[in-house]
Structure formats: structure tokens, C-alpha cells
């Protein structure tokens, strides 16, 4: 199969726009030295024609094919590359189209497999229908249904979730980038004095809330716009053995999340969303997801009522009711000590600044000590949001106050178990157990972990998890073998109800 | 289609069935671990072992690393001392001696803590002076096993075994300070144990 003919035009356009700055410089320099005008114009025209010719050859020599069990790709103008991707190894098939591509009726398709940060197959560009067809076909071929047979589970996709206008707007509010606000609060004391100098009417006290209010409003608008642009018309469907999503206003994304490759699911609620009773759901597969946040997890539900999110999470990974166990109370003491040390450090810095620099703040140098009031509260909140649980088939861990994340890892997906105890943890007989899964590219950032639990409990937990992992492995293997036997006996006519 | 990882990715349907049975026997001579079935492998109990410590010489490897690191830090401190106090010796020498002493103590302590065990279902490691870490790597999850020998290790007659998994901490699992024979043996054992564990899909 070949790429869409219009991709030559689009590819030339993107390539030319990439060296548009040369055009600008060229135009400026020619206006200075009048004589060079025609020469430069000819050179540029030649470059554009060259790019166009290259793209024609590229598109002509780009060839892909869906065989019985691999997706084959032949590409390259100077050095040729042939690539075969077994369907079984395919993690995600993602399609994206921006406004211009939609006007031309073309789409970009990417196929992701586990391992390797880069996309394994990238079709730039195919027609809309062809992209949908490839996405569907790969899903079908993965299930091992031959072409001439009728698919026993044809496109009976069930809609699991569709975002409402209310949720979309709430998403904008809830996802306000707090980093922006913290940046503003740091910047404000620096900006305000100069502003009050130029406009004497605006003194510090009156201007600060005004500016802050204005910036919060601005952050809200930006964040809402981003939410609307990214998640407009979000829909999640459940196919035979994959989830499909579609989202986006200007740039439209659609993608698949294979259910049999799910490594973990996590429910995220930041402090605001929690207050309003909302949460979001992310599903992590081992592939790299371009539409996601770059670490292999994909937003399966951007925002919905908390109960709804947990129901959906349970439909992906069937974990039952979870009753969390908290770390022992001495962990809380540990956090109190840690935060007190931070306050002490801040006070020391403040004292040093007043002592050794000419800056004299309007408040006493010891004022950071006021923060000590919040230390017990902060320590308690951190502790109260921690928790872990073992259900029949899953390890569940929860942590975070500002953004509380509940991670669910099936025992079967455990890669390694790491039990660690720092010097400070050992002083209090505490330890941390990390349950590592495949796929998360961010180093350790996405691991499910039981933080600061009793050291003997951590030990016990490690043994239990290892045992349950082995049991789950045997069970899954038996299930797969049964499925294979069934499939070969019926020669693929009725794949099991997986 | 079978899901064995050793199977080439592309294979026309039905080729497996058409394969003559004799070929397997031929293969099992030179590719014993890759192509043969479980019956050709030694029993798991023969592959596992008791808890082991590293070779004592690993202390010299770590000590050397600590001294070199202290030397670099000492040189930087000496330059700083030269510019700030016009005296490179006190600051540089002090930093070097302090860091080298700490490094040497750590080398000894690290050796005392380090343990590894080739268990029935998983590889178990315990290590760390300040942060004590215990890692469990189920054999099913092993992607591949490397034996590496750096210049210092070669001089001391040591090697490291690196076990890779698909997890985000994949390269974290390294067993340093084993003799080359032991490293090769460990690599072979782990490979066989991974085959016995029959990793269907490591991801």
C-alpha cells in the first residue's frame, strides 16, 4: 500500500516551513543588496523544487502492507529500510490529524511497540479512511481472525465514556497549572515595587491582590482553552479487547489501548478535583504514547465523577473493594521532623540574608518560623493520604496530598520488587516497597509503592507479592494455553472471549 | 502460534508443524539452551544456590574508585583554595583525605552488606550502606543477562553481571565483584532459569 498522494504536498509544506527562517533572512539581505535578488530567489525556488522532488520519491518508495501476522514497512530514499512488526507486539495504534490535515483529508498514523523511545512505524500520511481501516485491521489481526472469516466480535464497540461540556470546563479549572501560580507568587514581590514606583497610586498592598487575581484569571483562561483544545469531544469506547479514544478540537487524536497489555491503571485526583468529587483515569501500557504525557500512560478518562472513574478503572482491571492500610504513626512523626527541618532551613536563609545583605524586609527575619504551625497539618495530610492494599489480583498503592494518585498493579505485571530503607527510615524501623512494572519511562516516578511501612511488614509484603506473582503467572499461563488450544482446535474460527 | 520468545518474529503459518523432528536433536547440541526443551536442562535445584557474598577483592575496586573520586574532588578543592585563600594544599589535601577515608570505609561496609542469592523463582539481591535495598527479580522477567569487565575489574580479575528487565529500573540490577568464571556460570544459570521459567511475554 502507498501513502496518500497529497502527503507529498503536505510533507513539502512542513519541510519548507522548517527552513522558512532562511527565506526571511534571504528576503532581508536581498533588500539590503539589491543585486542579489534574482540569484537568491532562484536558489530558493530550486531548494523548494528539490524538496518537492525528494518528497515525491519518498512517498513513491514508501510502501506498507498488512500481512497475516506482521505489519511490513519498506521506506527510505537513499538507504532502504524494511521493517516487520508482529501484531502481537503492537501496543498502540494512534492516529492524529490537525486542522490542515483534516482539510486535506489525510491523517498521521503511528504504531507503537514496547521498548525503545521512538515510534516503530510512522505513516505520514494516509487518507482518513485508510487510517481508520489500518487501526481496525490491526485490532482484528491481533485477535487472530483471518480475513475471509466473519469476525465473531465485529465492531461492537460500546461507549464507556463521553465527556460532557460541564466536565470539559471543570477540567480547565481543575488542571490549572499550579506551577504557574507559584512562579507568579515568587515574581510578584519583585515586580510590585517597580510598578508602584511608576504608578504611585498602586501601592504594594492594593496592587498585589489585583495582579494576583488577574493572573489567576489568566491562568484559568489558558488552562481552560488547553483543556478544551485537547479534550474536546473526548470519547472512550470499548472494542473486543482494546479501548479506543478520540479527542481534540484543532488537533484530533484517536488511539487504541490494548487491554491485554495494560501494565497498571492509576486514578489521579488533585486537591481541587477531590474537593469537587472528580477524578481522572490513566492507563499505562508498555508502549510510548505520543498522545499521552510521554511516559507511556494515556489519559483514559480526563475527568469524571470519582465513582464513575473507579467503575471504569474496575472495568479495565477488575480490582474489588479496596481498604487501605496506612503506614504506622511514627512515619507521620518522620514527616513532621522533615518539614520542621525545611522551616529551620528557610529561617536560617532568611537570617543570613538580613545579616549579610543590604535587603531589609518589612517583616522580622524570624518570620518563617510561623510556618511551624502548618508542619503538623502537612505531616498529617501526607500521612493520611498514604496507603496500600492487597486485593485478590492487584496491589493498590495511594499517595500524595496535592495530587493524590491511586495506582493499581496486577500481580501478573510485576517486573521487580524493591524493598529499601534509608538511614532515616531504619532509625524508625520503616521501609519502602516499590512494585516496578514495565513501561514507565520516567525513572521511578510512576511506580506503585508502599511508602514508610513497618520494616517487618515490608519484608512480609515483598514475600507475599512474590508468591502472588508466581501464582498469577501460573494461572495466566494456563489460561493462555487453554485459549491457544481452543483456537488451534477450532482453527481460529472462534477466538475465545478474551 | 506459540508465544515462545526464542521463536523468530516472522514465520509463515504452518512452518513449525512442517519442521522435521530430527532437526531439533541436531540443534540441541550447539544451541542447547535456545532450542531444546525443558528436559535437556538441569533441574532447577541444580541451578539455584545458597546466599552468596561478593569476592573480597571487590573492596579494592571500590576503594580505588573512591580514591580516584576523592582525587578529582581534591583537585577541584585545591583550585578553589588557590583562588580563595591562596593556599591549595590545606583545602585540597583535606578534602582528598576526608573523602578518601569516607570512601574506604564505605567500600568495606558495602562489601559486608552485599548479598545475592539465586533462588528457585527469582534472583534476590541485598545491598546498600546508607540506603539498604533488597531487590527481587523473577526469572520470568529477565530480558537478557550481560557480563561486563571494566579495566579495573580486569586487573583485579573480577567481572560484573548485569541483569536487564523491562521495568523502569531495568539496568539497576548489577552484581559486581564476582570472578569471571562465576560471572559466566551465573549468566548461564540465569539464562537457563529464565528458560525454565518460560517467559511468555516479558512485558
Q: How many domains does chain A have?
A: 4
* Whether residue B125 is found in the same domain as residue B195: yes
Average pLDDT over residues A247-260: 86
- The predicted-structure confidence for A176-207, as pLDDT tens digits, reads as follows 766 566 666 666 666 655 555 555 555 555 66
Whether pTM exceeds 0.90: no
Is B35 among the domain residues? no
* Whether residue A342 is found in the same domain as residue A357: yes
Is A156 among the domain residues? no
Torsion of CA A253, A254, A259, A262, to 10 degrees: -10
Chain B residue with CA closest to A285: the answer is B203
Mutation for testing the A interface, residue in B11, B167, B198 having most A CBs under 10 Å: B167
- The predicted-structure confidence for A412-465, as pLDDT tens digits, reads as follows 989 889 999 999 999 999 999 999 887 655 544 567 899 999 999 999 999 999
**CA A180/CA A355 separation, integer angstroms:** 31
Chain A residue with CA closest to B7: the answer is A86
In this complex, do A84 and B173 lie within 8 Å of one another by their Cβ atoms?
A: no
pLDDT number for residue A272: 87
Q: How many residues are listed for chain A in this entry?
A: 498
Is residue A62 within 8 Å of A3, Cβ to Cβ?
A: yes
Q: Please give the full DSSP string across B50-119, using - where no structure is assigned.
A: --B---TTHHHHHHHHHHHHHHHHHHHHHHHHHHHHS-HHHHHHHHHHHHHHHHHHHHHHHHHH-EEEE-
Is A56 among the domain residues? yes
In this complex, do B9 and A415 lie within 8 Å of one another by their Cβ atoms?
A: no
In this complex, do A470 and B167 lie within 8 Å of one another by their Cβ atoms?
A: no
**Left if phi > 0, otherwise alpha if psi is -120 to 50, otherwise beta: which for A300?**
alpha
Contact pairs from chain A to chain B, CB under 8 Å: 104
Contacts with A437 from chain B: Cβ below 8 Å: 167-168
Contacts with B133 from chain A: Cβ below 8 Å: 418-420
* Whether residue B142 is found in the same domain as residue B70: no
* Whether residue B131 is found in the same domain as residue B202: yes
Contacts of A44 (CB under 8 A, 6+ apart): A22, A23, A26
In this complex, do A439 and B134 lie within 8 Å of one another by their Cβ atoms?
A: no
**Is the CB of residue A120 less than 8 Å away from at least one CB of chain B?**
no
**CA A441/CA A118 separation, integer angstroms:** 12
* Whether residue B178 is found in the same domain as residue B194: yes
Chain A residue with CA closest to B138: the answer is A416
* Whether residue B103 is found in the same domain as residue B183: no
**Is the CB of residue B167 less than 8 Å away from at least one CB of chain A?**
yes
Residue span of the structural domain in which A170 resides:
165-231
Is A263 among the domain residues? no
Is residue B160 within 8 Å of B153, Cβ to Cβ?
A: yes
Is A83 among the domain residues? no
Residue closest to A191 by CA, chosen among A157, A215, A163, A218: A215
**CA A246/CA A475 separation, integer angstroms:** 34
Task: Tell me the HSE value of B125 on the side-chain side, using a 13 A CA sphere.
Answer: 21
**CA A234/CA A468 separation, integer angstroms:** 37
- On the 0-12 / 13-18 / 19+ scale of CB atoms within 10 A, B152 is middle
In this complex, do A418 and B134 lie within 8 Å of one another by their Cβ atoms?
A: yes
Is B88 among the domain residues? yes
Is A97 among the domain residues? no
In this complex, do B169 and A418 lie within 8 Å of one another by their Cβ atoms?
A: yes
Structure-block grid coordinates of residue A284: 499505562
Is B18 among the domain residues? no
pLDDT at residue A74 is higher than 60: yes
| Residue recorded with cell 510512576 | A446
Residue span of the structural domain in which B101 resides:
58-111
Is B10 among the domain residues? no
Of B138, B172, B200, the CB nearest to A480: B200
* Whether residue B150 is found in the same domain as residue B183: yes
Domain end residue (candidates: B95, B111, B127):
B111
| Coil/strand/helix, residue A114 | strand
Residue closest to A416 by CA, chosen among A441, A433, A436: A436
Rounded to the nearest 10 degrees, the angle between the axes of helix B58-85 and helix B88-113 is: 160
Is B183 among the domain residues? yes
* Whether residue A395 is found in the same domain as residue A497: yes
Is B13 among the domain residues? no
Q: How many domains does chain B have?
A: 2
Of A416, A426, A480, the CB nearest to B167: A416
Is B37 among the domain residues? no
* Whether residue B105 is found in the same domain as residue B159: no
Residue closest to A470 by CA, chosen among A427, A391, A412, A403: A412
Average pLDDT over residues A287-315: 72
**Is the CB of residue A294 less than 8 Å away from at least one CB of chain B?**
no
Quote the DSSP letter at residue B6.
T
| Coil/strand/helix, residue A127 | strand
* Whether residue B136 is found in the same domain as residue B193: yes
Chain B residue with CA closest to A478: the answer is B200
> Per residue of chain B (203 residues), what is the pLDDT tens digit?
333 343 333 433 333 333 333 333 333 344 444 444 445 667 777 788 888 999 999 999 999 999 999 999 999 999 998 888 888 888 889 999 999 999 999 999 999 999 999 998 899 999 999 999 999 999 988 888 889 999 999 999 999 999 888 776 555 689 999 999 999 999 999 988 888 876 555 45
Is A452 among the domain residues? yes
Contacts with A422 from chain B: Cβ below 8 Å: 130-132
Contacts with A410 from chain B: Cβ below 8 Å: none
Is A176 among the domain residues? yes
* Whether residue B160 is found in the same domain as residue B203: yes
Is A403 among the domain residues? yes
Contacts with A114 from chain B: Cβ below 8 Å: 166, 203
Is residue B6 within 8 Å of A61, Cβ to Cβ?
A: no
Strand partners, A474: none
**Is the CB of residue B18 less than 8 Å away from at least one CB of chain A?**
no
Chain B residue with CA closest to A263: the answer is B203
pLDDT number for residue A497: 41
| Residue recorded with cell 518563617 | A368
Q: How many residues are listed for chain B in this entry?
A: 203
In this complex, do A438 and B173 lie within 8 Å of one another by their Cβ atoms?
A: no
Contacts with B128 from chain A: Cβ below 8 Å: 420
pLDDT number for residue A200: 55
Q: Please give the full DSSP string across A212-248, using - where no structure is assigned.
A: HHHHHHHHHHHHHHHHHHHHTT-EEEE-SSEEEEEE-
Is residue A91 within 8 Å of B180, Cβ to Cβ?
A: no
**CA B181/CA A339 separation, integer angstroms:** 50
* Whether residue A370 is found in the same domain as residue A390: no
The ipTM estimated for the assembled molecules is 0.75
- The predicted-structure confidence for A458-468, as pLDDT tens digits, reads as follows 999 999 999 99
Contacts with A469 from chain B: Cβ below 8 Å: 138
Strands A403-410 and A262-270: antiparallel
More confident residue, B186 or A142: B186
**Is the CB of residue A436 less than 8 Å away from at least one CB of chain B?**
yes
Is B25 among the domain residues? no
Contacts of A398 (CB under 8 A, 6+ apart): A324, A385, A386, A387, A388, A404, A405, A406, A407
The whole-angstrom distance between A286's CA and the closest CA on chain B is 7
Domain end residue (candidates: B111, B141, B156):
B111
In this complex, do A416 and B121 lie within 8 Å of one another by their Cβ atoms?
A: no
Is residue B64 within 8 Å of B107, Cβ to Cβ?
A: no
- The predicted-structure confidence for A15-73, as pLDDT tens digits, reads as follows 888 877 776 776 666 666 555 567 777 887 888 899 999 999 999 999 999 988 889 99
Contacts with A484 from chain B: Cβ below 8 Å: 2-3
* Whether residue A415 is found in the same domain as residue A366: no
Chain A residue with CA closest to B131: the answer is A422
**Is the CB of residue A404 less than 8 Å away from at least one CB of chain B?**
no
**Is the CB of residue A189 less than 8 Å away from at least one CB of chain B?**
no
Amino acid at each position: 500500500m502507498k501513502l496518500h498522494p497529497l502527503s507529498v504536498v503536505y510533507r513539502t509544506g512542513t519541510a519548507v516551513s522548517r527552513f522558512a527562517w532562511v527565506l526571511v533572512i534571504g528576503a532581508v539581505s536581498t533588500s539590503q543588496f539589491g543585486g542579489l535578488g534574482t540569484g537568491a530567489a532562484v536558489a530558493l525556488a530550486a531548494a523548494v523544487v528539490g524538496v518537492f522532488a525528494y518528497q515525491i520519491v519518498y512517498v513513491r518508495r514508501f510502501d506498507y502492507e498488512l500481512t497475516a501476522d506482521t505489519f511490513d514497512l519498506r521506506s527510505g530514499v537513499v538507504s532502504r529500510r524494511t521493517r516487520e512488526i508482529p501484531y502481537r507486539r503492537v501496543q498502540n495504534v494512534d492516529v492524529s490529524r490537525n486542522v490542515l490535515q483534516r482539510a486535506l483529508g489525510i491523517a498521521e498514523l503511528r504504531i507503537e511497540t514496547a521498548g525503545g523511545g521512538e515510534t516503530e512505524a510512522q505513516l505520514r500520511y494516509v487518507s482518513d479512511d485508510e487510517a481508520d481501516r489500518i487501526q481496525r485491521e490491526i485490532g482484528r489481526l491481533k485477535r487472530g481472525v483471518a480475513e475471509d472469516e466473519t469476525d465473531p466480535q465485529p465492531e461492537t464497540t460500546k461507549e464507556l465514556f463521553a465527556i460532557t461540556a460541564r466536565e470539559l470546563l471543570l477540567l480547565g479549572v481543575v488542571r490549572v497549572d499550579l506551577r504557574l501560580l507559584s512562579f507568579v507568587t515568587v515574581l510578584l514581590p519583585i515586580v510590585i515595587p517597580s510598578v508602584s514606583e511608576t504608578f504611585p497610586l498602586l501601592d504594594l498592598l492594593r496592587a498585589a491582590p489585583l495582579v494576583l487575581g488577574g493572573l489567576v484569571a489568566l491562568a484559568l483562561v489558558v488552562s481552560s482553552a488547553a483543556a478544551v483544545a485537547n479534550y474536546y469531544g473526548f470519547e472512550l469506547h470499548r472494542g473486543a479487547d482494546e479501548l479506543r479514544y478520540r479527542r481534540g478540537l484543532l488537533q484530533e487524536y484517536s488511539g487504541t489501548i490494548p487491554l491485554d497489555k495494560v501494565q497498571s491503571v492509576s486514578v489521579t485526583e488533585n486537591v481541587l478535583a477531590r474537593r469537587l468529587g472528580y477524578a481522572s483515569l490513566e492507563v499505562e501500557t508498555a508502549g510510548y504514547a505520543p498522545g499521552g504525557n510521554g511516559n507511556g500512560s494515556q489519559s483514559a478518562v480526563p475527568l469524571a465523577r470519582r465513582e464513575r472513574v473507579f467503575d471504569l478503572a474496575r472495568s479495565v482491571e477488575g480490582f474489588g473493594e479496596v481498604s487501605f492500610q496506612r503506614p504506622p504513626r511514627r512515619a507521620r512523626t518522620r514527616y513532621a521532623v522533615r518539614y520542621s527541618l525545611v522551616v529551620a532551613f528557610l529561617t536560617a536563609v532568611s537570617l543570613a540574608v538580613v545579616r549579610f545583605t543590604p535587603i531589609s524586609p518589612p517583616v522580622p527575619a524570624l518570620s518563617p518560623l510561623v510556618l511551624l504551625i502548618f508542619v503538623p497539618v502537612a505531616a498529617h495530610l501526607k500521612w493520611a493520604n498514604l496507603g496500600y492494599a492487597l486485593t485478590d489480583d492487584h496491589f493498590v498503592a495511594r499517595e500524595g496530598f496535592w495530587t493524590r494518585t491511586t495506582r493499581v498493579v496486577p500481580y501478573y505485571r510485576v517486573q521487580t520488587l524493591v524493598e529499601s530503607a534509608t538511614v532515616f527510615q531504619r532509625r524508625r524501623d520503616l521501609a519502602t516497597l516499590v512494585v516496578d512494572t514495565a513501561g514507565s519511562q520516567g525513572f521511578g516516578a510512576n511506580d506503585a509503592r508502599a511508602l514508610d511501612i513497618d520494616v517487618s511488614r515490608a519484608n512480609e509484603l515483598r514475600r507475599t507479592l512474590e508468591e502472588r506473582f508466581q501464582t498469577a503467572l501460573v494461572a495466566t499461563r494456563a489460561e493462555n494455553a487453554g485459549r491457544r488450544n481452543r483456537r488451534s482446535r477450532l482453527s481460529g474460527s472462534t477466538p475465545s472471549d478474551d | 502460534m506459540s508465544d515462545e520468545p526464542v521463536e523468530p518474529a516472522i514465520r509463515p503459518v504452518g512452518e513449525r508443524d512442517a519442521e522435521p523432528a530430527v532437526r531439533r536433536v541436531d540443534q540441541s547440541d550447539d544451541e542447547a539452551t535456545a532450542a531444546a526443551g525443558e528436559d535437556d536442562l538441569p533441574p532447577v535445584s541444580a541451578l539455584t544456590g545458597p546466599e552468596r557474598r561478593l569476592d573480597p577483592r571487590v573492596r579494592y575496586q571500590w576503594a580505588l574508585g573512591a580514591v580516584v573520586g576523592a582525587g578529582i574532588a581534591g583537585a577541584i578543592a585545591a583550585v578553589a583554595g588557590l583562588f580563595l585563600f591562596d593556599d591549595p594544599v590545606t583545602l585540597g589535601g583535606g578534602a582528598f583525605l576526608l573523602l578518601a577515608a569516607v570512601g574506604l570505609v564505605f567500600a568495606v561496609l558495602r562489601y559486608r552488606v552485599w548479598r545475592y542469592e539465586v533462588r528457585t523463582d527469582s534472583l534476590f539481591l541485598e545491598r546498600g550502606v546508607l540506603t539498604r535495598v533488597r531487590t527481587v527479580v523473577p526469572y520470568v522477567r529477565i530480558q537478557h543477562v550481560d557480563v561486563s569487565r571494566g579495566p579495573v575489574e580486569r586487573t583485579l580479575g573480577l567481572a560484573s553481571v548485569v541483569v536487564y528487565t523491562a521495568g523502569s529500573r531495568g539496568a539497576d540490577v548489577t552484581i559486581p565483584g564476582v570472578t569471571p568464571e562465576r560471572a559466566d556460570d551465573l549468566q548461564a544459570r540465569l539464562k537457563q532459569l529464565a528458560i525454565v521459567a518460560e517467559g511468555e511475554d516479558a512485558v
